[in-house]
Chains A and B, each alone.
Chain A
Amino acid sequence: MTAASRDPAEPDGTSLSESLGFPETVLEVGPMHPGLRRAMAAAGGSASFVVRLDDDRIRALEVEIGWSHRGVERQLESVAWDAARPFVSRLGYASGVLPEIAWCLAVESLAGLALPDRAIWLRMFVGELARAVDHLGRLAAVLGATGLREGEARAARLEWAAAGLLARATGRGPIEGFCRFGGVEQALPEDFGEDWAVGREALRAGLDRLDRIALASPALRDRLTGVARLDAATARAWGVTGPLLRASGVAEDVRRDRPYLGYAAVDFDVPVGETGDALDGVAVVAAELRQALAIAEHAHGVLVSLGPGPIAIAESEAEIVARGIPAGEAVATVEAATGELALLVVSDGGPRPLRVRVRAPSFFHAQVLPRRMLGERLDELLPVVALSHLVGPECDR
């Protein structure tokens, strides 16, 4: 689309509606319960928007957050150290294990606990599988929001398949707590290797097919090229991280730049986009999805070669907490599915954390949204929101 055709202003500077004598159109969109519609659900659901329109162009956008604010930080400071995990898991949409990893790493660093090897690779395996589920949900949402129903259905089926694999691996749902201080709760089932081999290949084949019919289709390309472009300098200045920053061409990934767990031992590329438009956003998510499966495969290989062994330190969580979490401050940063998620944990040596701050990537992505949507068509709001890596409970906390 050319710049001229995107510009809503008439030659004399008045807007189209003004020149025709129409009043400005103001639309209120949302909030909608995340369970109601897929496009809104994976998009984080709980944000609402006030859109000011000139014809069908957005001339101003207000983003309202806070609809699912539950005082998570306050709750984390009000319960015992070992009772806090469920609050942390619920920060993720389908990948609760990723914030959980950050929480455990922070407390382990305060308490000076070292993880057994198997626990490290189990966390990575499950974390990457959870990232794949999250990204598949995101693709389904984008495809749904752009009206590519066949693609949406396929992505949703893959999401379910990946979620099933995750449930099989962990023996629990996505937010039911897989990590514990000093390790993980459960090893992979003994016969999981077969499931993984089959599931992994099915996911890969499914992704190839999804690529052909939807992601590489002219319909999606024509719809999303040049939409909601975010340049690298703006993205950095506004604190954008994760897939959204990488779509703008910035090769930053916590797993590679400041590796935690065993990521330093894994060789992987950081996929980046070129222009930071919505199409780049889709491409980066799709590339990371394949990469998450590859890293999971690597971690699974390491787990197989490690053989049997402890999956957690001998001391139980209750014993660790009874011994006391020493006073101090720790920051643990992980690459969550949405971006850079960091927990600042302050302990005064007491039975509860003195302060837990959640740096939620969604919060920053919601804040920059009005800048990206300026001058775009109203139609593009939903696909762009779906691609903004917004998760309501994480953003609002």
Chain B
Amino acid sequence: MSEADVDAPTGFDAEHAPAPDVAPALALDAAVLRSRFAELDLTAEAGAAGELRVSLPGAQAIQLLRGLHADPGPARCRLVDLTAVDRGNAVDPRFEVVYRLRVDAPEEAANGAVEEAVEETVEETVEGEASGAIVATSLRVHAGVGWNGSEREPSPGVESVVSLWPAARWLECEVRELFGIAFAGHAEPSRLLLDPGLEGFPLRKDASGHEAPGAEDAR
């Protein structure tokens, strides 16, 4: 398997090493995530089947996702899915952009050397903290995006993650197309699923389901 991830730290680099007060943890759980990203305003709770549900404000999402993309330790993730939920006008924030991430197993995230190092720390860590915690194998990040309805699109939305995971390209296009949530820095938003003449955002709760075709089509 090739290690083509340019963003991954190679070798020990004092400048980019994780903060020294963060103990090398074995596995990802809610407590580890909170301590890794202590500066963010996030809540994390364990869900079913090893899934960790994280929610935070949309403006901070990119910091968390960048960290999860480049994490050398247990919190290294890759993108499985990206979508949105519209909870309706009565709820604030109305929209959530949902990122589903898979936690890469240690042998996938790094190579054998790191695995050995992890094994050495097994006993200490298990005795110390995180005993009984549920190990997360996947993450679901809900990034809240508020909208006061005065503009066509919620602003600010969230930042694009295409530079982290190329798979996000079409996924972000789709959310933009169906929900009208813009992704800052997304290079080429294009129509994927809908007719070019269709106006409105069909997956918004206030969409009628019978959107009028645009003027071009009506003619």
Contact = CB atoms under 8 A, between A and B. Distances in A.
Contacts of A74: 202-203, 207, 209
A249 interface: yes
B192 A66 contact: yes
Contacts of B181: none
A19 B167 CA distance: 36
Contacts of B47: 329
B169 A367 contact: yes
A71 B207 CA distance: 12
B81 interface: yes
Nearest to A360: B81
Given A258-B137, A344-B81, A354 B100 contact: no
Nearest to A66: B193
- Interface residues of A, dominant DSSP: mixed
A239 B85 contact: no
Contacts of B71: none
Interface in A176-208: none
A359 to B, nearest CB: 4
Interface in B67-119: 78-81, 83, 85-87, 98, 100
Given A65-B192, A74-B202, A342-B80, A359 B100 contact: yes
A331 B165 contact: no
Contacts of A234: 4
Interface in A217-240: 231-234, 236-239
A298 interface: no
B187 interface: no
B193 A69 contact: yes
Contact of B2 (A73, A232, A342, A355): A232
Given A109-B48, A342-B100, A357-B98, A329 B53 contact: yes
A61 interface: no
Contacts of B81: 239, 342, 344, 357, 359
Nearest to A69: B193
Contacts of B215: none
B49 A258 contact: yes
18 contacts: A66-B193, A71-B209, A74-B203, A232-B1, A233-B5, A234-B4, A237-B78, A237-B165, A237-B166, A238-B167, A258-B50, A329-B53, A329-B140, A346-B85, A354-B85, A357-B98, A367-B169, A367-B170
Interface in B146-172: 165-167, 169-170
Interface of A: 65-66, 69, 71, 73-74, 77-78, 109, 231-234, 236-239, 249-250, 258, 329-331, 340, 342, 344, 346, 348, 354-355, 357, 359, 363-364, 367, 396-397
Interface in B171-208: 178, 191-194, 202-203, 207
A363 B174 CA distance: 11
B167 A239 contact: yes
A69 B202 CA distance: 12
A329 B53 CA distance: 10
Given A231-B2, A233-B5, A367-B167, A331 B203 contact: no
A233 B3 contact: yes
A309 B43 CA distance: 45
Contacts of A73: 178, 203
Given A73-B203, A74-B209, A233-B5, A331 B140 contact: yes
B73 to A, nearest CB: 19
